[in-house]
């Protein structure tokens, strides 16, 4: 399966070891969540599963249990940066297929290159 997910904190940090400046909050209503997102992406990358991060989502490929475990751990980590966590998740569940995180893009590029 391939899961594309986006996770972000909101509210005050729930972990006392995370200071307000660690949340990356800017003045006014221009809040940044890059520190929390980096913490989540670090967990994904350390998982060893095929993955890709863009400006909006992180994609990860593997079997159900291993992918969902990584998503859960990344979500838990982001929870340290706020009292709430928003998780958006989209999954392509296709048993018996691997390498599709690149394969799907390769097929599109082949069509575009014709």
Count of other CB atoms within 10 angstroms of residue 62: 20
Nearest-angstrom CA–CA distance, 53 and 55:
7
Contact indicator for 109, 16 with CB cutoff of 8 Å = no
pLDDT at 19: 61
Q: Give the domain ranges of the chain.
A: 2-112
Predicted structure pTM score: 0.83
CATH topology of domain 2-112: Alpha-Beta Plaits (3.30.70)
Mean pLDDT, rounded, of the chain? 89
Give per-residue pLDDT as tens, 37-82.
999 999 999 999 999 999 999 999 999 999 999 999 999 999 999 9
Q: Is the CB of residue 41 less than 8 Å from the CB of residue 53?
A: yes
Query: In this predicted model, what pLDDT tens digit does every residue of 12-22 receive, in sequence order?
Result: 876 767 765 55
Q: State percent of the chain over pLDDT 90.
A: 78
């Amino acid at each position: 399966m391939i899961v594309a997910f986006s996770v972000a904190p909101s509210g005050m940090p729930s972990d006392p070891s995370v200071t307000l400046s660690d949340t990356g909050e800017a003045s006014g209503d221009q809040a940044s969540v890059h520190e929390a997102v980096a913490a989540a992406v670090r967990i994904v990358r350390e998982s060893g599963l095929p993955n890709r991060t863009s400006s909006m989502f992180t994609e990860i490929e593997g079997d159900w249990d291993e992918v969902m475990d990584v998503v859960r751990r990344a979500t838990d980590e982001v929870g340290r940066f706020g009292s709430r966590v928003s998780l958006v998740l989209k999954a392509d569940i296709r048993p018996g297929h691997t390498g599709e995180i690149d394969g799907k893009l390769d097929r599109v590029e082949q069509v575009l290159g014709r």
